[in-house]
Structures are given as C-alpha cells and as structure tokens.
Amino acid sequence: MVLRQFAALGLVWITMQCPAAPASSLDDIALTAAVSAPEVDGIVQKVEVVKQRLTLKQGAIDAYDMPNLTMRWRLQDPTVLQGLAEGDKVHITVGRIDSQYTILSLRKLSAP
C-alpha cells in the first residue's frame, strides 16, 4: 500500500516537472494534411448541390488502394461545387474525415 502511494506521488511529481508540449495550431494540422494527402484528376459526372456531393470518374488513388473508378464524394467545402458542370476536368486532393473519403480541395482544370 505504501509503495503504491509512493509511486503515485512520483508520477504526480514527474508530471508537474515536465512542461506540456505546445499544441499544434489548426493551420499546422491543415498544412500537414494538405502536403501528405493524395491527389488525383477526374471528370465530373454529376453535381449534387443540395446533397453537397460530387460524382467523379477518376484515376487510381494508390494511397487508398483505389483503382480507376467512378465515385460519389463528400466535400469538406461545399462551395467548390459553384461553377462546376458535368464534363468538367478537375484536380482533387482527398482525405478521410470521420472514416469517409472526402474531397479536401478541388481545382477546375477545364470545361467540356
């Protein structure tokens, strides 16, 4: 019993002596995600403004073991749908948010 109390006091002392590591800012986290997130080109198949989704025929994404396919995507920022139309060529950066594949950024390459 005495040994447990001594060990607990030692942990408290160590915790108080070690300063906490500074937390990363959200900007740092976003930058890290953008740098390491997979990118791929695709062709817009369907724009769903109300549901905030985008269906793309896209190239393979090796980081997620995805072959070339047509897929409906969630969007981190639904405003990227503005000005998009079926047939537009796009370049996307993708990631997983809440375990779901999500477009993190989108750049329009050309119109049909």
Residue 66, domain member (yes or no): yes
Smallest CA-to-CA distance from 85 within 59, 60, 108, 58 is with 108
Residue 86, domain member (yes or no): yes
64: CATH: 2.40.50.320
Token pair listed for 107: 């750049």
Gap between the Cα atoms of 58 and 44, Å rounded: 9
Residue 74, domain member (yes or no): yes
> By the 8 A CB rule, do 100 and 74 touch?
yes
Residue 21, domain member (yes or no): no
Q: What is the pLDDT of residues 44-99, one digit of tens each?
A: 999 999 999 999 999 999 999 999 999 999 999 999 999 999 999 999 999 999 99
63: number of Cβ within 10 Å: 13
Residue 30, domain member (yes or no): no
Residue 105, domain member (yes or no): yes
Residue 85, domain member (yes or no): yes
> By the 8 A CB rule, do 26 and 53 touch?
no
Residue 22, domain member (yes or no): no
Range of the domain at 68: 38-112
Element holding 23 (H helix, E strand): none
pTM of the model: 0.66
E strand residue ranges, the chain: 39-48, 53-58, 69-75, 89-97, 100-110
pLDDT band at residue 110 under the 50/70/90 scheme: confident
Res. 29: pLDDT tops 50: no
> In total, how many domains does the chain have?
1
Gap between the Cα atoms of 14 and 5, Å rounded: 14
Query: DSSP state, 82?
Result: T
